[in-house]
Amino acid sequence: MPDSLLLNGELLPTVTSELLRATSYGHFTSMQVRDGRVDGLDLHFDRLDRSSREVFGQPLDADRVRADLRTALGRERDCSLRVNVFSLDGELDLLIRRSDPVEPGTKPLRLRPIQHQRALPHLKHTGTFDLIYHARQAAAAGYDDALFHTSAGEVSEASIWNICFARGTKIVFPAAPVLAGIRQQVLQRGLESFETQRILVSELGSFDAAYLTNSIDPALPVAAIGEVTYAPHPASAQTIAAAYASQEAQAV
């Protein structure tokens, strides 16, 4: 399908320099739509409202976002949607991009551990230079992506993913400051129990498996983090799959 841009519910034929400047300060959320439904749609609405209150001092009504999403979706049932929130003149503006759906990855990834923390990690903001830079540096070093940790060696998140670990069928999430990803929250809703704890790079070998989660990849296995390798672990993979299966996607 051709990509499309909608600004405040209206088709945007051109992108002006003023718009490019304005969208450099803001926040966003991305989602995969399948059969007109989105995993954790209510969590996307909550993220957009909370972030708008913090970044711009204004609430963002879920009904407004839903209406613009439906306009952007049109007759498409499967696609990718990204909602950018910014401000041209003091009021909140919504820029929605519709593009082709993206299927989850199938290849387990090798991650390069690196000391780094995103600015304001709890916000999904538009400042992504550092994420792309560290991902590219990891690729240049022979890895698939970067895994961030603090100066104390505490694991936090990957460049565009949350990460979780497994000991047997127990799923463990890092306690370091991270963006609370939508798919991570959906997973946590579906798990009967889980743990959040301080996870050090030096302790990674004590886990049976690791998985990356984001709007595209619900549970992408990790093959290695630095020198630590992980074999396929069916028990934890089944636990995660069952947790997701228990959570119904929500209609746009």
Residues of the chain with CATH 3.20.10.10: 109-247
14: exposed, middle or buried (Cβ count in 10 Å: 0-12, 13-18, 19+): exposed
Determine the pLDDT at residue 15: 78
Over the stretch 114-128, which tens digit does the pLDDT of each residue have? 999 999 999 999 999
Write down the pLDDT at residue 12: 86
CATH topology of domain 4-99: D-amino Acid Aminotransferase; Chain A, domain 1 (3.30.470)
The highest-level CATH class for domain 109-247 is alpha beta
pTM above 0.85, yes or no: yes
3 pLDDT higher than 90: no
Residue 1 has pLDDT above 80, yes or no: no
Residues of the chain within CATH 3.30.470.10 domain(s) are 4-99
> What's the rounded Cα separation, in Å, for the pair 227 and 77?
42
